[in-house]
Amino acid sequence: MPRYRFSFIALLLSIMLIAGCAGSMAMHSQSNPPAELDYSTTRASDEGRFVVSFTSALDPIAINQMHSWTLHVETADGAPVENAVIQVSGGMPEHFHGMPTQPRVTQNLGGGDYLVEGMRFQMGGWWTVTFAIDADSVQDSVTFNLRLR
């Protein structure tokens, strides 16, 4: 009887262990971004030098589909910024990985619009996309939050 009781407890413990492990794995693959994230597609840059907005050619944005964005850059007073040099980077802050592609601004469309090609996201969840903007030696960057399903 004591032996039976011991193995019952051992069985119970291993069930708890397996359940706990599966639970933490589920949490790892889940996305729990901070509650007050701003998902707007128009945002002021970090230092307030620019107001930047994007439109995606793919809307809603689907997983694993290459597409382009059009970025619109204005000064804080609303004048279009026509001569910006822009670097693109993105990733998932919760998963410590970047984008599977290296998106680039490939065309200055004029009027403060820039074509960003090579956008692709490989999984659902919280993504950030950051544009580092350099226009006539004014430098600032803007980060957009995305929640993809």
In the complex, which residues of this chain contact Cu ion (CB under 5 A)? 92, 95, 123
State in angstroms the smallest separation of the CB of 28 from Cu ion.
Answer: 10
Whether residue 127 contacts residue 92, with contact meaning beta carbons closer than 8 Å, is answered with yes
Taking the least distance from each CB to Cu ion, the nearer of 51 and 92 is 92
Taking the least distance from each CB to Cu ion, the nearer of 5 and 28 is 28
Taking the least distance from each CB to Cu ion, the nearer of 51 and 99 is 99
Neighbours of 143 (CB within 10 A): 17
Nearest-CB residue to Cu ion?
A: 95
State in angstroms the smallest separation of the CB of 91 from Cu ion.
Answer: 8
State in angstroms the smallest separation of the CB of 97 from Cu ion.
Answer: 6
- The set of residues, in sequence order, having a beta carbon less than 8 Å from that of 127 and lying 6+ positions away, is 90, 91, 92, 121, 145, 146, 147, 148
Nearest to 54 by CA among 103, 96, 94: 103
